Structure 1
Amino acid sequence: MGNSFAFPAFRTFEIAEALYVVNQLLELAKPSEVEVDFDIRVTSADTLDRLTAMLPQADWWADRPDQDPSAPVPSSEKGDDPYASLPIHLQHWCLEPESVEAVLEAAGGEMVAARWDFNSWPPIPELRLGHTCRCAFITVSFNARSIYPDVPSSDHTLYIHAEQFHPERATWLASQVGLKILGEPQMSAL
């Protein structure tokens, strides 16, 4: 397991705008396969009802940042009740890109990190960078200001992932769709 660096490259209040930029970047990458992974912070029973109906195989764990770290954390792995454990993080992997809008609708205004995972970024000959299969991701944090759904925000941030030693890839990719890097990268576990 390694890490990628997620560079913030676009911020908007409009979900449709964020998804449009994702599609522009995917057109640039020309992937043969794309899947989307979700991490959703769920705070209400109504939202949990909608999401579990849509994602019945999702994993979850309790989100209790102030809890004693040695205390057991309720989770799907342990067979605990998610309703009794709210707020929780709900995760589901390997969904079709077409599922994004439906998942966002079911999540309502909750914080959602959606990560598009695909086979490679294109080569950049002028930077002497070849294809890379590693770190070929785009994350959009909806209603959150971090690549993880843990810092609330009223807007949505798109992140372009790149390898630790090639941050220029993210800058180049952003420039190809009319964007620029907005700040420091965040480390993301792969």
Structure 2
Amino acid sequence: MSNDIAYPVFRTPDRVGALDAARRIVEYGRRADSRVSARTELRSGAEVRRVAKELPGGWFRAWEEYGEFDGVPSQDLPVLITGVRGCGLPSDPAAYEERLPVECELYGMPVGSVEDAFAAAAGPNVGEINWDGLCWPDASELDLPGESKHAEVTLLLNTRSRELDEPADDHTVLVHVRSLRIDGRQTEEPYAHWLAAQVGLTVIGPGQRW
């Protein structure tokens, strides 16, 4: 089993500029079956309602206490716990005010189908757009083979952390490569630098792992 490591290659407070930079490197590795997913964490009922109007096809799921619904049949669970499309959210604001944060997610969509709408709808909330199913080419001058299993790009919105736990006033593009550590050194880091350079970007910080 192998894992990935994601290196920041672009950062800006300009949401559109960040999305454009992410798309440049996505296109470098895009395949016919590449997909995009996105998620954002909403911490007020007003934001849940607003985002649901802008993303009615988004999948909304709320926070629950550990073990809170043990033994409860699935058909009796609140729809916000099992998950519900934006167009089917409860009309009573209290239904989600009491269960914040609420996560909105779009999963496995065609590349180019949701990115603009999602980035705009996320607004001030932390979130991410992730493209996977990419394929990085060989870097023959570095004697490094291509990569498909861990070829991804992530745009972090209003945060610099893959955990989405540190709000920020800017947006960061990450390029993913295989994590391979030998003698305490990430041997694939030069590959991340090479990939960024192919589209006019550069690694600007240490890699992030889950």
Distance 1:122 1:87, change over 3 A: same
> What does residue range 8-47 of structure 1 map to in structure 2 within 5 Å?
8-47=8-47
Determine the C-alpha separation between the residues in 2 that align with 1:15 and 1:78: 28
Mind listing any 5+ residue stretches in structure 1 that lack a counterpart?
Answer: none
Give SS of 1:91's match: strand
1:164 aligns to what? Answer: 179
Determine the C-alpha separation between the residues in 2 that align with 1:59 and 1:151: 22
For residues 97-142 of structure 1, the C-alpha deviation after alignment (integer angstroms, 9 at most, x for no partner) is: 3311111222221111111112311111112222321111110111
> What does residue range 63-74 of structure 1 map to in structure 2 within 5 Å?
72=68
CA RMSD of aligned residues (A): 2.7
Distance 1:129 1:61, change over 3 A: farther
8 Å contact 1:61–1:88 — kept in the other structure?
yes
Deviation at 1:89, TM superposition (A): 2.9
| 1:176 correspondence with 2:191 | no
2:82 aligns to what? Answer: 77
Normalised TM-score (structure 2): 0.75
Q: Which range is displaced more, 70-79 or 53-62? A: 70-79
Q: Which range is displaced more, 80-89 or 90-99? A: 80-89
Q: Percent identity?
A: 26
> What does residue range 3-152 of structure 1 map to in structure 2 within 5 Å?
3-53=3-53, 54-56=55-57, 58=59, 60-62=61-63, 72=68, 76-77=81-82, 81-96=95-110, 97-152=112-167
Amino acid aligned to 1:89: E
Determine the C-alpha separation between the residues in 1 that align with 2:45 and 2:83: 20
The structure that has the greater radius of gyration is 2
For residues 9-50 of structure 1, the C-alpha deviation after alignment (integer angstroms, 9 at most, x for no partner) is: 110011111121122212322422332111211112232124
Deviation at 1:169, TM superposition (A): 1.5
Determine the C-alpha separation between the residues in 1 that align with 2:109 and 2:27: 19
Determine the C-alpha separation between the residues in 2 that align with 1:6 and 1:58: 26
The size of the alignment, in residue pairs, is 183
Distance 1:44 1:137, change over 3 A: same
Normalised TM-score (structure 1): 0.82
Determine the C-alpha separation between the residues in 2 that align with 1:29 and 1:167: 17
Q: Which range is displaced more, 128-137 or 6-15? A: 128-137
Determine the C-alpha separation between the residues in 2 that align with 1:90 and 1:78: 9
The structure whose residues are more often strand, as a share, is 1
Mind listing any 5+ residue stretches in structure 2 that lack a counterpart?
Answer: 70-77, 85-89, 181-187
Deviation at 1:159, TM superposition (A): 0.5
Deviation at 1:6, TM superposition (A): 0.8
8 Å contact 1:50–1:107 — kept in the other structure?
no
Give SS of 1:11's match: strand
Deviation at 1:176, TM superposition (A): 1.6
Give SS of 2:164's match: coil
